[in-house]
């Protein structure tokens, strides 16, 4: 959390760059707010600062109805190496929904008492309190922004009992769920739409352009101002669409035909995909020391690391992209989907009388089970690469490789390079785009070697050594250097 003096200045200026990095609790009202709260600024003598919403809640404060703390980006959610970051990623993935604190502690490699201690020191709350606050704030958002029945909101927030949900919500938010509904202004209409906040700046256009070049027909559609995808099992498809708000630092997530229990996972994946929890101020503070990266930051201050929707899908794409262009890899991915991806007949039926463009999103990406024994040479793959993909599929099925949160970078890379045909470049690329790991750095990348060598190609070892001063944000340097290389190529044309 920033120092009290910095918090004072950020609160007075209502600086969105500090949104989610701290919360302001007002003793005279008993509520806690975001730094950007539009309410009149309270006296400093009435204010306490907390590093997380869970910490403020644990001290008896309730969330503000005006600035809505549930819209804040998270401060520690970006995948990282330390224990708290890894545990928070696992909690966001639902680790405490059905498992114990002891299980979570085992997953991050420490004892449960120590986990509680480090959580209190870092977040101001216990892991259970963080988990509970996350659930209640999601419920508050759904009650405010959607017309979902309260029973479905309870399910989405992870409560199987409406009575328990009502009790927990009253304790955590200071009012009953139905009272939140009465407090809101206009009643939402149309598709379920959620607001996803971020700390500015965000170069949404650059992220869409990156995703558009890699989009797989039938799976996703990327326009000039939107990303669309159909997810879920065939026969129970869910459509999502992501656009940018024109007035606020928020993305708008539209969801259609979703099981309420799937909403937290959808939100988590979209936030990771567009890197919405990044603290670019911390990233830039490290990178701007390097003159080349300082130049890149001036050109694209809002550049972030675009992740993929599904880890296995990204891993397959990474293997398809070995030693070929992005366009060639996308062609191979399209052939694979056409040959081995199941068809979504329900999307065509649903779209016939509504949005015809959705009918084109009628495929599922092939599962590991579909690819494990598939003759992938038939789509134009070399035998060695086809074998690598079959081995990857088998490793995922057998649990030797997974793309879940909370993994250490070195452990994930080690598990990937143990598979024949996957080297450090591929492993780090997958870590960057599937796990969202901020320190992933494919040092064997030709473009990185040339950019850092000022026209001459550095060795992989020299490139790795050069990158050490940019840790733990090396993934951001990858995106910036790739973009700078494209700029240079355009200038030479």
Residues serving a catalytic function are: 33, 445
Residue with tokens 């994946």: 269
User: Helices in 146-176 by DSSP H: which ranges?
Assistant: 150-156, 162-173
As beta bridge partners, residue 195 has 252
**Residue 173: left if φ>0, alpha if ψ -120 to 50, beta else—which one?**
alpha
Residue 244 structure tokens: 């940018």
Contact between residue 304 and residue 210 where contact means Cβ atoms under 8 Å apart: no
Beta strands in 120-260 (DSSP E): 192-197, 220-222, 226-231, 238-244, 250-256
At how many degrees (to 10) do helices 127-145 and 112-123 cross?
50
Q: Is 305 helix (H, G, I), strand (E, B) or coil?
A: coil
Question: What's the Cα-to-Cα distance from 289 to each of 179, 297, 383, 405, 489, rounded to whole Å?
Answer: 51, 11, 45, 30, 25
Taking Cα atoms as reference points, which of 69, 186, 38 lies closest to residue 139? 69
What are 431's two structure tokens? 């870590």
Residue 440 burial (C-beta neighbours within 10 Å; 0-12, 13-18, 19+):
buried
Whole-angstrom Cα distance, residue 23 to residue 32?
6
Question: What is the rounded distance in angstroms from the CA atom of residue 107 to the CA atom of residue 114?
Answer: 13
């Amino acid at each position: 959390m920033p120092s009290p003096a910095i918090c004072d200045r950020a609160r007075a200026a209502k600086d969105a760059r500090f949104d989610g990095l701290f919360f302001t609790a007002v003793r005279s009202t008993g509520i806690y707010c975001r730094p950007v709260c539009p309410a009149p600024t309270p006296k400093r003598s009435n204010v306490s600062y907390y590093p997380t919403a869970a910490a403020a809640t644990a001290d008896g404060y309730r969330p503000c109805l005006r600035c809505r703390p549930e819209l804040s980006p998270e401060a520690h959610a970006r995948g990282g190496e330390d224990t708290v970051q890894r545990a928070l990623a696992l909690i966001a993935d639902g680790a405490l929904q059905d498992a114990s604190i002891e299980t979570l502690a085992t997953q991050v490699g420490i004892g449960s008492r120590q986990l509680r201690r480090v959580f209190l020191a870092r977040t101001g709350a216990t892991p259970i309190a963080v988990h509970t606050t996350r659930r209640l704030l999601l419920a508050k958002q759904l009650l405010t922004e959607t017309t979902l029945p309260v029973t479905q909101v309870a399910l989405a927030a992870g409560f199987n009992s409406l009575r328990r949900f009502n009790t927990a919500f009253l304790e955590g938010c200071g009012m009953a769920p139905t009272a939140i509904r009465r407090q809101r202004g206009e009643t939402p209409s149309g598709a379920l739409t959620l607001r996803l906040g971020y700390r500015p700046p965000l170069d949404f256009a650059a992220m869409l352009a990156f995703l558009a070049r890699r989009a797989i027909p039938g799976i996703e559609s990327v326009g000039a101002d939107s990303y669309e995808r159909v997810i879920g099992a065939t026969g129970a498809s869910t459509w999502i669409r992501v656009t940018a708000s024109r007035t606020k630092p928020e993305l708008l997530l539209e969801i259609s035909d979703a099981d309420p229990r799937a909403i937290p996972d959808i939100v988590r994946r979209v936030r990771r995909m567009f890197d919405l929890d990044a603290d670019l101020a911390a990233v830039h503070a490290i990178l701007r020391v390097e003159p080349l990266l300082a130049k890149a930051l001036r050109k694209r201050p809002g550049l972030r690391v675009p992740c993929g929707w599904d880890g296995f899908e990204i891993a397959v794409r990474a293997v398809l992209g070995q030693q070929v262009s992005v366009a060639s890899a996308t062609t191979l991915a399209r052939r694979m989907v056409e040959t081995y991806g199941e068809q979504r007949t329900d999307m065509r039926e649903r779209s016939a009388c509504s949005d015809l463009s959705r009918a084109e999103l009628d495929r599922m990406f092939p599962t590991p089970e579909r690819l494990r024994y598939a003759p992938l040479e038939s789509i134009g793959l070399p035998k060695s690469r086809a074998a690598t993909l079959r081995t990857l599929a088998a490793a995922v099925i057998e649990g030797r490789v997974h793309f879940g949160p909370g993994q250490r970078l070195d452990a994930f890379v080690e598990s990937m390079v143990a598979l024949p045909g996957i080297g450090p470049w591929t492993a780090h690329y997958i870590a960057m785009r599937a796990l969202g790991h901020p320190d992933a750095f494919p040092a064997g990348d030709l473009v990185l070697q040339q950019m850092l060598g000022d026209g001459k190609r550095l060795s992989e070892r020299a490139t790795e050594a050069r990158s050490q001063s940019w840790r733990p944000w090396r993934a951001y340097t990858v995106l910036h250097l790739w973009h700078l290389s494209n700029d240079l190529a355009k200038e030479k044309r």
